[in-house]
Amino acid sequence: MAKKLFIKTYGCQMNVYDSARMADVLAPLGYAPVDSPSGADMIILNTCHIREKASEKVFSELGRLRRFKDERQAAGGRMLLAVAGCVAQAEGEEILKRAPHVDLVFGPQTYHRLPELVEQVTGSEARTRLSDTSFPTESKFDLLPEERAHGGGNQGPSVFLSVQEGCDKFCSFCVVPYTRGAEYSRPVADIMGEAERMVTAGAVEITLLGQNVNAYHGKAETGVPASTKTGAKTRAKTRAKTWGLGRLIRQLAEIDGLHRLRYTTSHPLDMDDELIAAHGDVPALMPFLHLPVQSGSDRVLSAMNRRHGADDYRRIVERLRAARPDIALSSDFIVGFPGETQQDFAATLSLVTDVGFAQAYSFKYSPRPGTPAANLPQVADAVKAERLAMLQQLLGAQQASFNEASVGRWLPVLLEREGRLPGQMAGRSPYMQAVHVKAPARLLGKLVEVRIDKAHPNSLSGQLEPTTRRDGMPARTVLDPPAQEASKTPSLSEGPA
Ligand code: SAM
Ligand code: SF4
């Protein structure tokens, strides 16, 4: 019987991808993902350390999970409790000290070793507890097993694919370079293989992930034999070249059946010409970009070690819009960074007004232990709160007017999951807007055109084209089902919902 594995994922999409890969690594040991911690044989908390009291939240969740472990023990069984991710990396052994019921702590770069770690923890009579937060010289990507089509949490029409990890930029507020380690790009061939398998398993949209995804510079075997003289002998070699993200996206867009590509998260410094050009001429690359700017003040940007100014950001946006006029932009903002004055904050509001964002995330600065900015004199919390409220009001108004402008338009929507209401499906527009529509469940995974009727603060709702084609699909279906499937599709006698 399969052992039950419950993984709780916090934070970014990269953690969602990692959690699915942890499930893949543990599958040969007989573990299968479940949706509840009750009765689990192993629980993994895959944690995030980016902001506010992250460690404390993990310790209190560990306190709540103790009950499940005790229940298992009382029933004569054993549950393993593990902490993974960036809090594990930052706290390491401290977690074992403070939470005696935790068995295993491992960081984002060591989860390919899970089978050995689990073996060590379970293999002896005496209780063994372990922490492995090293940065191994080997890349985990070279050692992970092939992903399984139904690995926990990263399956379906829209999936994540990690292409790059770590960061060498060392922004003065950020823990990522310390928890995820140095920048690493996966080779092109590995990424192509994984993307092709994802499409075969039903993916229609892939979001390429990296802490700094547009810094991607992966090795590509060109397959062009080159002659290299070694002494008297001449031997053929395959030339290895490095590709940037723009080139990789062009190659991925060639995969049959892959209709949508996105990437996140990007740094303005790495928006090179090739990537900007790809936005103009790769139709599968969606017209939406999350490009964090953090602040509109040059003084603050310099103190953050961002290495670009506010006008550089404005120019990048201009070039992106020249390449793809309808591109929708999103960003991250930090308010109340140490030393931020009212004037600096006004510069952020003015950048937001100039650019116009379709959506954005904004945060109060949170001092992260071990980062340079944590030691600087801090802005009062009340000031941070006031600035955050002002910024969010402006961003919210921009998002609302962007959504309003969609009303009355037909938008292609990839139906990704059931909606909250019965008979409803939910998906995303090309511009990342959540769209709800009444539709039969068999349209899951299809790209359909939806006429947008209403804009809500964070989403849109609309209707399918009422007329149907001979195969029963709504007349405005972007993705045709494969020919042999189409003939089996029952007719939509009830008409579209
Ligand atoms: N690599 C991306 C970039 O260069 O902008 C950002 C990745 S970071 C994981 C996600 C976001 O968390 C950042 O853009 C920033 O706005 C926010 N963030 C990171 N550290 C923070 C801190 N100490 N306080 C508040 N927000 C923070
Ligand atoms: Fe963190 Fe992004 Fe800066 Fe890297 S570039 S240090 S991930 S904010």
Helix (H, G, I), strand (E, B) or coil at 161: strand
Contact status, residue 102 vs residue 88, Cβ threshold 8 Å: no
Q: Which ligand is nearest to the CA of 176?
A: 2
Tokens of 17: 């991808």
The response to whether residue 95 sits with its C-beta less than 6 Å from ligand 1 reads no
Q: What is the pLDDT of residue 139?
A: 79
Q: What is the pLDDT of residue 50?
A: 84
pLDDT in tens, the chain (497 residues): 789 999 999 988 889 989 999 999 999 999 999 999 988 999 999 999 887 777 788 999 999 999 999 988 888 889 999 999 999 998 899 999 999 999 999 999 899 999 999 999 988 777 789 989 888 777 778 777 777 644 556 778 999 999 999 999 999 999 999 988 999 999 999 999 999 999 999 999 999 999 999 999 999 986 544 444 444 444 445 566 999 999 999 999 999 999 999 999 999 999 999 999 999 999 999 999 999 999 999 999 999 999 999 999 999 999 999 999 999 999 999 999 999 999 999 999 999 999 999 999 999 999 998 999 999 999 999 999 999 999 999 999 999 999 999 999 999 999 999 998 999 999 999 999 999 999 999 899 999 999 999 999 899 999 998 777 777 777 777 754 443 333 333 333 333 32
Q: Which atom of ligand 1 is nearest to the CA of 167?
A: 1
Give the angle 313-316-317 at the CA atoms, nearest 5°: 90
> For the whole model, what pTM was predicted?
0.88
Helices (H), 75-204: 85-91, 93-98, 114-122, 140-143, 176-179, 188-200
Contact status, residue 50 vs residue 11, Cβ threshold 8 Å: yes
**Cα–Cα nearest to 311, from 338, 350, 277:** 350
Q: Which atom of ligand 1 is nearest to the CA of 362?
A: 16
The response to whether residue 263 sits with its C-beta less than 6 Å from ligand 1 reads no
Contact status, residue 312 vs residue 268, Cβ threshold 8 Å: yes
Distances (CA, A) of 267 to 173, 270, 332, 426: 15, 6, 11, 30
Helices (H) and strands (E) in the chain, counts: 15, 21
Contact status, residue 162 vs residue 194, Cβ threshold 8 Å: no
The response to whether residue 332 sits with its C-beta less than 6 Å from ligand 1 reads yes
Q: Which atom of ligand 2 is nearest to the CA of 177?
A: 6
Give the angle 195-45-20 at the CA atoms, nearest 5°: 15
Q: Which atom of ligand 2 is nearest to the CA of 168?
A: 4
Contact status, residue 371 vs residue 413, Cβ threshold 8 Å: no
| Helix or strand (DSSP H, E) at 438 | strand 434-438
Which protein residue's CA is at the shortest distance from atom 3 of ligand 1?
267
User: Backbone phi, then psi, for 4, in 5-degree steps?
Assistant: -90, 130
Residues in CB range of 255: below 8 A, 6 or more apart: 192, 195, 196, 199
The response to whether residue 51 sits with its C-beta less than 6 Å from ligand 1 reads yes
Q: What is the pLDDT of residue 52?
A: 73
* Cα–Cα distance for residue pair 488/480, rounded to 1 Å: 13
* Cα–Cα distance for residue pair 358/137, rounded to 1 Å: 41
Distance between Cα 438 and ligand 1 center (Å): 36
Contact status, residue 355 vs residue 329, Cβ threshold 8 Å: yes
The response to whether residue 366 sits with its C-beta less than 6 Å from ligand 1 reads yes
Contact status, residue 203 vs residue 156, Cβ threshold 8 Å: yes
* Cα–Cα distance for residue pair 285/5, rounded to 1 Å: 35
Residues in CB range of 154: below 8 A, 6 or more apart: 16, 17, 19, 20, 147, 160
Helix (H, G, I), strand (E, B) or coil at 371: coil
**Cα–Cα nearest to 62, from 98, 35, 86:** 98
Tokens of 168: 């060498």
Q: What is the pLDDT of residue 152?
A: 55
CA 196, distance to chain mean position in Å, is 19
Q: Which atom of ligand 1 is nearest to the CA of 294?
A: 16
> Counting every residue, how long is the chain?
497
How many CB atoms sit inside 10 A of residue 120's CB?
A: 15
To the nearest 10 degrees (0 to 180), the angle between helices 13-26 and 114-122 is 60
Q: Which residues pair with 42 in a beta bridge?
A: 5, 80
The response to whether residue 216 sits with its C-beta less than 6 Å from ligand 1 reads no
User: Positive or negative CA dihedral for 366, 367, 373, 379?
Assistant: positive
DSSP labels, 212-248: TGGG--EEEEEEEEEEEEETTEEEEEEEEEEE-HHHH
* Cα–Cα distance for residue pair 124/143, rounded to 1 Å: 26
Distance between Cα 203 and ligand 2 center (Å): 29
* Cα–Cα distance for residue pair 104/117, rounded to 1 Å: 8
Tokens of 191: 């990424």
Tokens of 253: 């867009």
